[in-house]
Amino acid sequence: MTPPPLRLAAGLLVSALTILPASAAAAAMPNIVFILADDLGYGDVHCYNAQSKIPTPNLDRLATEGMRFTDAHAPDAVCTPTRYGLLTGRYAFRSRLKSGVLPPWGAPLIEEGRLTLPAMLRQRGYAAACIGKWHLGWD
C-alpha cells in the first residue's frame, strides 16, 4: 500500500542542507544530507514509486547507496515554517511568525542564540552548508 503523498511545502525543488565531517579523523562519521523539496509528493520519486512518470536518477542513486526513510511529516504546508521547524526542531508558531511566510527581505525568523540543527552538528565535528532557498529572513 502506497502512503499518501508527502507534501513538504509550496514552491520548487530548491533546498539542500549538507552536513559533512569537518576533519579526516571524523571520516567514520556518516555524511548527512537533508533534501527539502517543495511540492514533491512521496510517489513522485521513482525509488518510492516504480510507476512515477518523473525521472529521478540522482535521488534514486542516493536512495540505493544510502538510507531511505518512509515516515516523514512536515510542520506546515509552506516554506518558511517548514524550514524553521527542520532547523530548530520547533513549530514556527512558537516564533513571531503566526501564519504565512516571511517577505523576501524580512528580519531573520530564527532568534539570536537559538540552537539549530547545523550548529548542534558542528559541535560534534561536522561542517554544514545550505544550498538553495533560504526564506527565513535576512540581516
Do the domain assignments include residue 6?
A: no
Do the domain assignments include residue 136?
A: no
Do the domain assignments include residue 120?
A: yes
79 is catalytic: yes
The structure's pTM equals: 0.73
Q: According to the model, what pLDDT value does residue 6 have?
A: 36
Q: Where are the beta strands (DSSP E) in 11-88?
A: 13-21, 32-37
135 is catalytic: yes
Q: According to the model, what pLDDT value does residue 40 have?
A: 82
Distance CA 9, CA 123 (A): 29
Question: Is the confidence at residue 111, as pLDDT, over 90?
Answer: yes
Q: How many CB atoms lie within 10 A of CB 102?
A: 22
Backbone angles phi, psi at 52, to 5 degrees: -60, 140
Q: According to the model, what pLDDT value does residue 36 have?
A: 84
Under the banding of pLDDT at 50, 70 and 90, the label for residue 7 is very low
Per DSSP, the three-state class of 100 is coil
Do the domain assignments include residue 55?
A: yes
Query: Which one has a higher pLDDT value, 110 or 11?
Result: 110
From 46, 73, 130, 135, the catalytic residue? 135
Contact 87, 116 (CB under 8 A): yes
From 46, 47, 73, 79, the catalytic residue? 79
- In the structure grid, which three cell numbers stand for residue 123, read together? 559541535
Average pLDDT of the segment spanning 116-137: 90
Distance CA 23, CA 61 (A): 26
Question: Residue 84 burial by CB count (10 A; 0-12/13-18/19+): exposed, middle or buried?
Answer: buried
Do the domain assignments include residue 19?
A: yes
Tens of pLDDT, residues 67-101: 888 887 888 888 899 999 999 999 999 999 999 99
Tens of pLDDT, residues 23-45: 555 568 888 888 888 788 878 99
Average pLDDT along the chain: 81
Give the number of domains in the chain: 1
Domain that holds residue 29: 13-131
Do the domain assignments include residue 137?
A: no
Do the domain assignments include residue 5?
A: no
Q: According to the model, what pLDDT value does residue 34 have?
A: 85
Do the domain assignments include residue 85?
A: yes
Which residues does 79 contact at the CB level (< 8 Å), separation at least 6? 9, 10, 11, 38, 101, 133, 135
Per DSSP, the three-state class of 60 is helix
